[in-house]
Amino acid sequence: MNPALTQFGDRMSHLTGVRAIMKDIIETLRAGNQDFINLSAGNPVILPEVEQLWRECTQDLLSSPEYGEVVCRYGSSQGYQPLIDAVVKDYNQRYGLNLTDRNVLITPGSQSLYFLAANALGGYTTSGDLKQIVLPLSPDYTGYGGVPLNPESLKAYRPSLDIDAAAHRFKYRPDFSQLEINENTGFVLFSRPCNPTGNVLSDEEVRKIAALAAPHNVPVFVDSAYAPPFPALNFTEMTPIFGGNIIHCTSLSKAGLPGERVGIALGDERLIQPLESFLTNMCLHSSRYGQAIAARAIASGALVEISERVIRPHYQQKFAVVEETLDRAMPQDLPWFLHRGEGSIFSWLWLKDLPMTDWEFYQVLKGEGVIVVPGSPFFPGLTEEWDHRHQCFRISLTASDADLTTAMERLAQTVARVYQPAIARS
């Protein structure tokens, strides 16, 4: 049967971004005719102490009198009240806020939160005007490309690049000379720390974006899936920014609970309420089981403690392995640049003047037994031509030290080989 899909049905039935590339990666791994070091994974590593925390929270729920109420009944669309209370108390104490439970919404993962926002605040208004979803610097999370039902509503801006050529490092920054937020903007969205680059916008940059949006009554959604207080995957000092037109969006996925799909939004209740209504119409509410064990982990302080003591050091050390190996193995006379490692579970490599596309290099590197993710899917909403978007790669930090070292050595050898004909011609 070939169903007659609507415009929205056709839009949502196609894979976007990295999900489309993952199909090729899965088929490659299933072929089984070669051993690969797979550095494409977005799944967090199952760290024993983190898994044990969730086991203990689950055991506590199972033995409690509230188990039946949690699992066997529907709940509030806003979320499980003990989780909301735990979040409000923790954030108020930690950051000196004055949140109430009316400032919190629990969603089935943060991806669904951006889907709600993209189609409640972006797209066409009742009068037919197009409200844009603005990504203030690109590259950013590939999943943003799949959330709007009206793809033309997504608009991204090229960043400025801080380049340290001698050290082979670089960093993206918002280009405020180009960034435009006006009455046609529905909302602004960016990740901090950034998936895929590990970039962390400064406090000043976040406040400046929020200030540009405020006169137009435009909300700013800060995707804080890697931010403190949990999972605290920031390798540099950063402060979550709250208040005004900012919606702070966090997730428990990289804190070891991706399977339960628990996202948390904190912000002005006038923004929270329409998102809650949208969620009600879509799926009633997020999984109450996941919320119930999360409430225990947050209320006890254990989740924040284990984020700082276990999760952050694990990935920070993995980034150090990638950094040290590339510095040792990569040809120093070629224009390669590693993004400053400021957070997340990925590193981001730019091969300037690469004599082939990122997809072609990905295929060549597969021949050497290493899988990374081509960077071009991480530029959703960027319509202008830019060679840079076909010269970058996301490298997952979820492998062992030995595999990361071997993979980076093979990558360095491959880089030297593919650049050689271009160097010879010059």
Name the one residue in this structure whose structure tokens are 């102490």: 49
Q: Helix, strand or coil for residue 222?
A: strand
Alpha helices in 96-157 (DSSP H): 110-120
This prediction's pTM: 0.94
**Residue 26: what pLDDT?**
77
Side chain identity at residue 40, one-letter code: S
pLDDT of residue 16: 62
> Which amino acid would we find at residue 88?
V
Strand (E) positions, 103-240?
104-107, 123-124, 130-135, 154-156, 160-164, 169-173, 185-191, 220-223
Give every residue of the chain whose pLDDT is below 70, as ranges.
Answer: 8, 14-21, 32, 422-426
Residue 343 DSSP one-character state: B
* pLDDT one-digit tens code per residue, 100-157: 999 999 999 888 999 989 989 999 998 999 999 999 999 999 999 989 989 999 999 9
Query: Which residue, among 345, 324, 326, has the nearest Cα to 336 in the 3D structure?
Result: 326
- pLDDT at residue number 27: 79
Residue 411 CA, chain-centre distance (Å), reads: 24
User: What is the per-residue pLDDT for 18?
Assistant: 62
Residue located via tokens 């844009």: 132
Confidence at residue 31, expressed as pLDDT on a 0 to 100 scale? 72
Q: What is the structure's pLDDT at 190?
A: 98
Return the H-helix or E-strand segment holding 327. helix 312-329
The tens digit of pLDDT for each residue in 332-364 reads 999 999 999 999 999 999 999 999 999 999 999
User: Which of 113, 261, 100 is closest to 187 using CA atoms?
Assistant: 113
At 51 the three-state DSSP class reads helix
Instruction: Tell me how far apart the 2 most distant CA atoms of the chain are, in Å.
Output: 75
Phi, psi of 97 (to 5 degrees): -95, 175
Q: Six-digit token pair at 48? A: 């024993």
Angstrom CA distances, 184 to 117, 135, 154, 190, 222, stand at: 15, 14, 12, 18, 19
What share of the chain in percent tops pLDDT 70? 95
